[in-house]
Amino acid sequence: MSNGPVVPAAEARLACRPGPELSVRLTDGFWLRRQLCNREVTIPHGMRMLEETGTLENFRIAAGDSDAEYRMPLFRDSDLYKVLEAIAWDRSHGPLESHEQFLRSSTALIARAQEHDGYLNTYVRVVRQGERFADPAMGHELYCAGHLFQAAIADARTADGDPALLPVARRFASYLARTLPTEQPSFVPGHPEVETALVELYRTLGDRQLLELAAELVERRGHQRLSWRSFKPEYFQDDVAVADARTVRGHAVRALYLLAGVADLYTEAGDERLRAALFAQWDDMVSSKTYLTGGLGSRHADEAFGEPFELPPDRAYCETCASIASIMWNWRMLLLTGEGRFADLMERTLYNGFLSGVGLDGTSFFYVNPLQTRSPRTREPWYECACCPPNTMRLLASLEHYLATATDAGVQVHHYASSQIRWTPEGAEPFALTIETAYPFEGEITLRIDRAPAREVELALRVPAWAPSASLELNGRARALEPSRDGYLRLRRNWTAADEVVLRLPVQPHAVSAREEVDAVRGCVAFERGPLVYCVEGLDVPSGLAGLAVDPSVPPIDEPGVTVAGETVTAIRLPAVASPRASRPGGRPATTWPYARLPTGASPAGPAATDPARRTDVRALPYFAWANRGPSEMRVWLPDIGCTTSRSDS
């Protein structure tokens, strides 16, 4: 039995369940390597950074153990909680004494910083001298509370013995449940996060007051009470009632954490108005506000969603936390519906917009994940506003919990990774299988049944939207099966141990174009291979990216076995025309005026496109692997040769 971050109650409205009857373990391959790097390198790095940046010291000050100066930003508590959550999830892969020691000592410190009535926030205690709920818009008290609750839940679900953080969380949650409805009737938390955490804490403790508090906090939104400087109620999702909202808007991370919480709430409590709001906002987001990488948030100003189709590749914000929050929300939508479209978006986001946020070395991060950079961009070991790095840790540490689900009929595999899956329905014989695959670089997935009950079990395998021509073999014989409308191939039978299913997903690279409304990339194409989005880095194009155009009419060729910072990836080679650039980054421009009059009757394809001497091919790498070989410019969307105009590049 294994319980991950989301364990709905038995009576919850769900199409499929992640636990507790299902357990999944990564055994090899791409995600195990990332998870091990997280365990061995990133989490220890995080523990060091929490000390170096003063986050732990803030708790010591609040506990009365130190008189150092308090370090802002005011939501720094959440950085510690996220690292503790990561340690707790990671513990289920085998506890490490150094991690356990950190968890124990931090928990004791947090407990000392907690006030007698259960309230806990170091900034309020130290800087605001105990003045609580004074700054609903920007105070982040319940944002930090939510991360504490999630860490405590992880601790409770993985501890061998009594989880020490859970009592701290319980006391704080009880305080909130008794105080907010009565003493703070108009308090609206400016940064959602506590909603999803309260629902999960209700699932953990069975205390219905926590579910009711989550519902009340969601219900309180929409009265335009939240604003701060130039941030309007829309930034805080306080412009319209949650149930009436039909578009994603405002600060992206706030909006997405809220939607994850609303999905949890609907799952447990019902309310068809919330369901309608969830689906409408998902449609709005996916149809017009999502980058090819799954990244979300196109505005640096306000870290916000933009207008529909406002998706500039170079100005993309795509905060790593927004990708994580989107994965959280989509997982809940998948549980609610069993529909593959939610797993499709999760997968796109996981492999691209999320994973680009963590360097392959495990100690460097991106907060912002653009799809084009002109000046070389380097990753940072941490950030003053450090929400993203520890957020990556908790997702990677718990990743296996997002791969599969179960229903009364059987097991659904949503994401492919070398793993072992075991389903043990109450009072019934287990069904266990082993998956082997070199996914995402190869599309062949072998599923071997290790143990089967003497009854029919359905095995459902997601066919991603990018793989329309998937094929399937059962015990060496092709099976002509069509994916169901919700995107799954379903095999229902009396299985026997050693039955073998081979699913083949075509991962040949292909070009993609954007609808014309995505005007920022008109005339450009991008490339995908399986679930991976590709990009070209300046390091691979000696003449620079400014003069590069690609020919999408010629299929790209695989270049397997390329090593980037210790990870072996399949690159692709793109047929291209590379013209020498007029200026180098940082260098003096060759001309002062960067525009030229277009000759009358000029062909849309300039001489560069047809000159065989300029024909070449360039390497493109998976987007997640960019900026791991030193500073470089980068592009996902590349001009299509057929759309390039004559340029004076002599």
Contact flag: residue 148 with ligand FUB (CB under 6 A): no
> What is the Cα–Cα distance from 630 to 163, expressed in whole angstroms?
43
- Residue bearing tokens 């174009």: 513
Min dist CB 164 to Zn ion, Å, is: 27
Q: Which of positions 543-602 make contact with ligand FUB (CB under 6 A)?
A: none
Residue nearer to Zn ion on the CB measure, 152 or 321: 321
> What is the Cα–Cα distance from 147 to 541, expressed in whole angstroms?
43
Q: Which of positions 75-94 make contact with ligand FUB (CB under 6 A)?
A: 75
Residue nearer to Zn ion on the CB measure, 333 or 387: 387
- Give me 64's structure tokens: 């009365």
Largest CA distance in the chain: 79
Contact flag: residue 387 with ligand FUB (CB under 6 A): yes
Q: In the chain, what is the straight-line distance between the N-terminal and C-terminal CA atoms, in Å?
A: 67
Min dist CB 128 to ligand FUB, Å, is: 17
Min dist CB 61 to ligand FUB, Å, is: 21
Contact flag: residue 433 with Zn ion (CB under 5 A): no
- Give me 195's structure tokens: 């909603």
Residue nearer to Zn ion on the CB measure, 329 or 527: 329
Which residues lie closer than 8 Å to 481 by C-beta, 6 or more apart? 472, 489, 490, 491
> What is the Cα–Cα distance from 488 to 305, expressed in whole angstroms?
31
Residue 191 binding partner per list ligand FUB, Zn ion, none, with a CB distance cut-off of 5 to 8 Å that depends on partner kind:
ligand FUB
Which of 493, 496, 445 shows the shortest CA–CA distance to 472?
445
Query: At 32, which helix (H) or strand (E)?
Result: helix 29-37
Min dist CB 604 to Zn ion, Å, is: 41
Helices (H), 349-430: 388-397
Min dist CB 616 to Zn ion, Å, is: 38
**Contact call for residues 201 and 149 (beta carbons, < 8 A):** yes
Binds ligand FUB (CB under 6 A): choice among 90, 303, 436, 551: 303
Contact flag: residue 382 with ligand FUB (CB under 6 A): no
Three-state secondary-structure class, residue 350 = helix
> What is the Cα–Cα distance from 240 to 243, expressed in whole angstroms?
8
Which of 302, 340, 337 shows the shortest CA–CA distance to 322?
302
Query: At 525, which helix (H) or strand (E)?
Result: strand 524-529
Binds Zn ion (CB under 5 A): choice among 265, 388, 396, 411: 388
Count CB atoms within 10 A of the CB of residue 357. 26
Contact flag: residue 321 with ligand FUB (CB under 6 A): yes
440 cis-preceded (ω within 30 degrees of 0): yes
Contact flag: residue 403 with Zn ion (CB under 5 A): no
Contact flag: residue 200 with ligand FUB (CB under 6 A): no
Residue 303 binding partner per list ligand FUB, Zn ion, none, with a CB distance cut-off of 5 to 8 Å that depends on partner kind:
ligand FUB
Q: Is 201 exposed, middle or buried (0-12, 13-18, 19+ CB in 10 A)?
A: buried
Residue nearer to ligand FUB on the CB measure, 303 or 344: 303
Lay out the site mask for ligand FUB across 165-194 (x = CB under 6 A, - = otherwise): --------------------------x---
Helix 388-397 to helix 43-52 angle, to the nearest 10 degrees?
Answer: 150
* CA pseudo-torsion sign 176, 178, 184, 187: positive
Contact flag: residue 253 with ligand FUB (CB under 6 A): yes
Residue 220 binding partner per list Zn ion, ligand FUB, none, with a CB distance cut-off of 5 to 8 Å that depends on partner kind:
none
Q: Is 41 exposed, middle or buried (0-12, 13-18, 19+ CB in 10 A)?
A: middle
Residue nearer to Zn ion on the CB measure, 79 or 339: 79
Lay out the site mask for Zn ion across 287-326 (x = CB under 5 A, - = otherwise): --------------------------------x-x-----
Contact flag: residue 240 with Zn ion (CB under 5 A): no
Min dist CB 50 to ligand FUB, Å, is: 16
Residues in contact with ligand FUB, counted by CB under 6 A, come to a total of 8
Contact window for Zn ion (CB under 5 A) among 237-245, 388-396, 461-469, 602-610: 388-396
Please report, for residues 37, 38, 85, 108, 330, the alpha-carbon distance to residue 393 in angstroms, rounded to integers and kept in the order given: 10, 6, 8, 22, 19
Residue with the shortest CB distance to Zn ion:
321
Min dist CB 228 to ligand FUB, Å, is: 11
Min dist CB 212 to Zn ion, Å, is: 30
Binds ligand FUB (CB under 6 A): choice among 319, 339, 344, 633: 319
Residue numbers of the site for Zn ion (CB under 5 A)? Answer: 319, 321, 387-388
Q: Which residues bind ligand FUB (CB under 6 A)?
A: 75, 191, 253, 303, 319, 321, 385, 387
